[in-house]
Structure 1
Amino acid sequence: MNYTLNQLRIFLKIVEKQSITKASEELHLTQPAVSIQLKNFQNQFPIPLTEVVGRQLFVTDFGSEIASAAKRILKEVDSINYKLLAYQGELAGRLKISVVSTGKYVMPYFLSDFVRENPGVDLVMDVTNKSRVVETLEENQVDFALVSVLPQHLNLNKVSLMKNVLQLVGNPKYFEKVKLGKSVFSKDTPLIFREKGSATRAAMESYLTKRSITVGKKIELTSNEAVKQAVIAGLGCSIMPLIGVHRELKNGELRIIPSKSLPIITTWNLVWLKNKKLSPVSNALLDYLGTNKEEIMKTHFQWLDSY
């Protein structure tokens, strides 16, 4: 056999995406190039790695076994590269962080200079909802997670990064058509929610329950971006983290609707399991944040103080 590391990486991506087209997009390669590499890799085995039923690609049992072996091989190759860099005096390794969806507006600013200053560090950042973030922590799949609501059932260490401000927002033109009463929460104003498992959804529901507010009509969407676009389009209002709608507030597409007991303020925390043995890269990030987080907040997020 004479397969290459590049073929292993391409095959793993095909297995992950269950699609040559999606794999080629992620790898920034043409679809024919990925197909050719898959064919060359397949030619080295007498048993099929994949099969196509209809127009859907499926990985065979044998292909799944080969993918697991490929993953182990590539992990060892990465380990060799990191060890080489370490012997040369560079910080090297993989940093895996799970981030709740709104956190994508936060975490990159706390990582950019660190990653740029340490080219031997490979960053893997998974952006998902809170339920999945908690799952990755429980299963020790990541080094850190960024959350605004701490999971109480886990024994965690944390570094508090910055505040998370949530306000009720709507499209100004929407209120030219809908007359507000004493409260925006009425049968005439649909309220747009994130899906169950979202920290923003939990914060909204807690706020409404504590104040015995009954919502006339609920709309549920599965991402912050979808909620934002729906509010801009005048589909309804939503309680949203300002970190994700700053530009729209600034240019007038959205405005904050004054309401009692708002804003809701939580804290963005970088958390990790207390019993986790941190890698040199993880410890270096914590040292970096301890030194630089105040300056990062001042440079990029001082505008939050005006709300």
Structure 2
Amino acid sequence: MSIALRVGNREETIAALMSGETDLAVMGRPPVAPDVVSEPIGPNPHLLVVPPGHRLLEGAVTADRLGAETFLLRERGSGTRILTERFLDESLGGRPYDSVELGTNETIRQGVMAGLGVAILSGNTVLGEVATGRLAVARAPGLPIVRQWFVVHLAGRPVVPAAATLARFVVENRARVLPDASTQMG
């Protein structure tokens, strides 16, 4: 028996499920197609993260103030990018905004800490940096956007015993496995 953990964006994860390369996935939003079985495991709050002392931490965050920022975005195919683009399109009324594409949440966190821009990321990915003061959360209308994390597998395909055991463990221990970031973002 062999177990491998892979990190990928939404498109890659769905493709791996469809091809049978992946038996089980943890993802932010189960796909409509292919048909999957999903179990929610906890909240997935998306927050506006900025470097400590950033100007968006003071006063009301308006569309004009948001539009003046450079947003660090995940690559195309990422669920976080889709969510961010929808939020910005709605918040800015379709006005253009500056963005820089970076490939991973870690790269984006580092970019925000370095002052390259701001980002909307899952609170679960920034818990440590916020707790230690290396990142801050700016309050903005429409945020946080709270979705759910899910354990997902293809419907109609048997789940190998190791994956079934892991899924059962994650679901039964969801509070320990996935702390509620929305309550820890003060």
TM-score range, shorter chain: 0.7 to 0.9
Deviations 1:160-195 (A, max 9, x none): 11111111111124439xx987343123x2111111
**Equivalent residue number for residue 169 of structure 1:** 49
The 1:181/1:150 distance shift into structure 2, 3 A limit, reads closer
* Partner of residue 139, structure 2: 258
Structure 2: distance between partners of 1:218 and 1:267? 26
- The gaps in structure 2 that reach 5 residues or longer are none
- 2:186 aligned with 1:305: no
Quick check: 1:145 aligned with 2:25? yes
Task: Give the aligned length.
Answer: 182
CA contact (8 A) 1:195 1:221 kept: yes
Match of 1:246 among 110, 118, 127: 127
Displacement after TM superposition at 1:249 (Å) = 1.0
- Give 1:280 shift: 2.7
How far 1:150 sits from its partner (Å)? 1.7
Per-residue deviation, 1:138:
1.0
For the residues of structure 1 that align with 2:142 and 2:66, how far apart are their CA atoms?
13
8 Å Cα contact 2:30/2:38 also seen in 1? no
2:66 matched to 1:185?
yes
Query: 1:302 deviation in Å?
Result: 4.3
C-alpha displacement of 1:291: 3.4
1:202 corresponds to: 82
* CA distance in structure 1 between the aligned counterparts of 2:147 and 2:181, rounded to whole angstroms: 16
Once the two structures are TM-superposed, the CA of residue 292 in structure 1 deviates from its matched residue by 3.0
- 1:157 and 2:34 equivalent? no
In structure 1, distance between residues paired with 2:36 and 2:49? 33
Cα displacement string for residues 111-137 of structure 1 (whole angstroms, at most 9, x for unaligned residues): xxxxxxxxxxxx211112211111111
**In 1, distance between residues paired with 2:160 and 2:88?**
42
Distance change (3 Å), C-alpha of 1:291 and 1:169: closer
Larger relative helix fraction: 1
Distance 1:135 1:174, change over 3 A: same
Q: Percent identity?
A: 23
Give distance in 1, aligned partners of 2:148 and 2:61.
Answer: 32
RMSD after superposition: 2.4
Question: Which aligned runs of 4 or more in structure 1 are off by greater than 6 angstroms?
Answer: none
The offset of 1:285, in angstroms, is 3.1
Preserved CA contact (<8 Å) 1:185 1:215: no
Counterpart residue type for residue 234 of structure 1 = G
1:124 and 1:217, CA in 2 relative to 1: closer, same or farther beyond 3 A? same
Q: How many angstroms apart in 2 are the aligned matches of 1:247 and 1:215?
A: 32
Distance 1:290 1:258 in 2: 31
SS, match of residue 120 in structure 2 = strand
Q: Structure 1 residues 137 and 229 mapped into 2: Cα distance closer, same or farther (>3 Å)? A: same
